Chain A
Amino acid sequence: MCLGVPGKIVEIYQKDDLPMAKVDFGAGVLRECCLAYTPEANLGDYTVIHVGFALNLLSEQEAQETLALLKEISDLGEELGPEAA
Chain B
Amino acid sequence: MDFNASFRNPDLARGLLEKIRRSLTRPWVLMEICGGQTHSIVRSGLDQLLPAEIELVHGPGCPVCVTPLEQIDRALAIASRPDVIFTSYGDMLRVPGSQRDLFSVRAQGGDVRVVYSPLDALKLARENPGKQVVFFAIGFETTAPPNVMAVEQAKRLGIDNFSVLVSHVRVPPALHAILGSPANRVQGFLLAGHVCAVMGYWEYPPIAQKYRVPMTVTGFEPLDLLHGIWQTVQMLEAGETRVANAYSRLVTEEGNRPAQALIQRVFMESDRAWRGIGVIPGSGWKLRPEYAAFDAENRFDVAAITPQESPVCIAGQIMQGLKKPRQCPAFGADCTPEHPLGATMVSSEGACAAYYKYQR
Contacts and interface: CB of A to CB of B under 8 A. Distances in A.
Contacts of A53: 117, 145-146, 149
Contacts of A65: 248
Contacts of B195: 2
B173 to A, nearest CB: 18
B117 A74 contact: no
Contact of B250 (A55, A67, A71): A55
B219 to A, nearest CB: 9
Contact of A2 (B6, B13, B34): B34
Chain B interface category by residue count: 35 or more
A4 B197 CA distance: 11
A58 B249 contact: yes
A1 B136 CA distance: 14
Interface string B97-133: 0000000000000000000111110000000000000
A70 B16 CA distance: 8
B265 to A, nearest CB: 13
Given A48-B250, A51-B117, A52-B120, A4 B12 contact: no
A60 interface: yes
A64 B195 CA distance: 22
B248 A2 contact: no
B57 to A, nearest CB: 18
Interface string A22-51: 000000000000101111000000101011
A16 interface: yes
Interface residues of A, number: 37
A67 B35 CA distance: 25
B272 interface: no
A74 B3 contact: no
Nearest to A63: B249
B134 to A, nearest CB: 17
Contacts of A58: 3, 249-250
B158 to A, nearest CB: 12
A6 B12 contact: no
B117 A55 contact: no
A5 B153 CA distance: 26
Given A1-B349, A48-B197, A66-B248, A55 B256 contact: yes
A72 B227 CA distance: 12
A1 B249 contact: no
A65 to B, nearest CB: 8
B183 interface: no
A51 B118 contact: yes
A50 B12 contact: no
Point out which of B19, B61, B120 has the most chain A C-beta atoms below 10 A from its C-beta: B19
Nearest to A33: B117
B36 A3 contact: yes
Given A1-B36, A76-B15, A70 B149 contact: no
B142 interface: yes
A18 B256 contact: no
A30 B40 CA distance: 23
Nearest to A46: B3
Nearest to A3: B36
A16 B153 contact: yes
A1 B63 contact: yes
A14 interface: no
B139 A66 contact: no
Given A37-B145, A53-B149, A70-B16, A2 B220 contact: yes
Contacts of A76: 15, 18-19
A66 B119 CA distance: 35
Given A51-B142, A52-B119, 11 more contacts: A1-B36, A1-B143, A2-B194, A2-B220, A3-B220, A18-B119, A50-B146, A51-B143, A55-B250, A74-B15, A75-B15
16 contacts: A1-B91, A3-B220, A4-B220, A34-B119, A34-B149, A46-B3, A48-B194, A50-B146, A52-B117, A55-B250, A56-B252, A63-B6, A65-B248, A70-B16, A74-B16, A76-B18
Which 7 interchain pairs have the tightest Cβ spacing?
A: A74-B15, A52-B117, A2-B36, A63-B249, A62-B249, A6-B3, A37-B259
